[in-house]
Copies of this chain bind each other. A is one copy, B any other.
């Protein structure tokens, strides 16, 4: 059979994936990987899972294993509503929906809103998982400027003035890949702009709980409620393998997003939602989150000082107060892909930053470094190897 002739037109945009190709060598034996994007298994609350599962079995019995509402498991929606409240977001339980990871919301939003050719406005660089959710619906991307304080509001306004934008996608806090956070002043400007232009913002917030210094900054959702779909996840503060994401959105969109999700997976695992409900209801998150922060904070500090001490002065790191990544920019035109191949030979891997840009020409001199997986000593060693590789070029 000629299977290729059966493919839908949308597969065209899904084909090319240079990053998959280049990252194939990351898991070579002996290579320290700063290329990952996943939480440390040491951050999972392994000591309480047995208690949680026992409690779910006792409390919900067969109810934890039955089909459930597409909107989400009611006890979890109640708990997520409280979690959102602690973030300043007013969303009663019946307005909070659960999805299969935040990836599940990104797919549903794209499916609901993107017709072929529709324009989506993105930070440059942006989160790759969002692109893999959006691409199959064949959008066009409009890139917006960022600097060390996150998205430049003037670039957003210019974009909305010039283009008919379906929605804006941002990771405002500890962004993947840059670790940058949009300042409060800019968030207020952004809120004003999206209200002025009646624009819809998809605010993706997986990392804000992982803050290692500084003060919490309110979500843009709190500043422009009707214009924002706020997305978050338990993947970084509980366990990613359970695939629990959630969102708060205006009612009209929420009802549609539920209908979309129904066609995709009916609902998210009832059992895992019940585990998550117990985790939140039992106040385990409150006691466990400081442990996660204590785990990552010294890793981030170790990486920041190694970069400062060991990398040549022309390599600068974006300031970051939390999350999982640091972003290093080399001298203009410095080829990080070339460095990548040499660094792998020297036993250290990272992700060349250009893959996070939607335009071909950008980001050649940038790299993303992850610090959640390695310990402090290994991080120091790896940055040393990176410095040596740079000098050897």
Contacts and interface: CB of A to CB of B under 8 A. Distances in A.
A256 B133 CA distance: 14
Contact of A133 (B14, B53, B263): B263
Interface in A252-293: 252-253, 256, 259-260, 262-272
Interface stretch (A104-112, A204-212, A333-341): A104-112
B262 A132 contact: yes
Copies in the complex: 2
A54 interface: yes
A272 B241 CA distance: 9
A166 B6 contact: yes
Contact of A265 (B65, B100, B135, B198): B100
A66 B3 CA distance: 34
Contacts of A115: 8-10
Given A113-B7, A114-B8, A253-B3, A101 B263 contact: no
A24 interface: no
A280 to B, nearest CB: 16
Interface in A6-40: 6-11, 14, 38-39
A11 B64 CA distance: 32
A332 to B, nearest CB: 33
Interface in A176-192: none
21 contacts: A6-B200, A8-B118, A10-B115, A14-B259, A14-B263, A38-B66, A41-B63, A41-B66, A44-B66, A65-B242, A66-B239, A100-B269, A103-B265, A104-B265, A129-B266, A133-B263, A135-B263, A241-B271, A242-B269, A243-B266, A271-B272
